[in-house]
Amino acid sequence: MPRLEISILLRGGDPAAAQDEFNQQWEMMDEWIERWKSKMAFCPDEFEGCGCCFVTWQVDAPQEAFDEIPPELITGSW
């Protein structure tokens, strides 16, 4: 299984729009983790990062799970 890092970063620009995007992406990731966790070889119980402007997860999951993630959220491998 691939091991990838998935990150969400609060972007600049309009603060309200940036916060909305950040919250939507985080909600999407929470749903994705719930949907795929039973098929993952590794997924931490908690995110890393401050939680106010940056969150990241290092996960070991099937490729078909990663295919659901927007490419801009995949920030590396481990």
Q: How confident is the model at residue 78 (pLDDT cuts 50, 70, 90)?
A: confident
Helix (H) or strand (E) holding 36: helix 15-36
pLDDT of 1 reads 85
Within 1-78, strands assigned E span 3-9, 54-60, 74-77
pLDDT of 14 reads 93
Measured distance CA(78)–CA(76) in Å, rounded: 7
Mean pLDDT for 68-76 is 96
pLDDT in tens, 12-23: 989 999 999 999
Using a 10 angstrom Cβ sphere, with 0-12 exposed, 13-18 middle and 19 or more buried, the burial of residue 3 is: middle
Contact 61, 1 (CB under 8 A): yes
